[in-house]
Amino acid sequence: LEMETVLSVAGMTCASCVNSIEQHIGALDGIASIKVDLMTAQATVRHDGHAASSEVVRAAVEAMGFEAEVLV
């Protein structure tokens, strides 16, 4: 099931944070695409809900050292 999840991501302070999150999360199983916006502190993720649930994506961002919440 292809789905889109929007996360708030707190703790990003430079553009390299954006790149590292996009690279790392984007490489995980079940992730179709990810776009991280530094100004809004949000990440929009398209993913397979079975291979990578919203909670799995959120936890993976938190494991990188950021605070993440599912918004949508």
Q: Which residues bind ligand 9UX (CB under 6 A)?
A: 13-14, 16-17, 20
Q: How far is the CB of 48 from ligand 9UX (least distance, A)?
A: 27
| Nearest to ligand 9UX of 22, 48 (CB atom) | 22
Q: How far is the CB of 68 from ligand 9UX (least distance, A)?
A: 13
Taking a C-beta distance cutoff of 8 angstroms, is the pair 24, 69 a contact?
no
The DSSP line for 18-68 is HHHHHHHHHTSTTEEEEEEETTTTEEEEEEETTTS-HHHHHHHHHHTT-EE
| Nearest to ligand 9UX of 10, 72 (CB atom) | 10
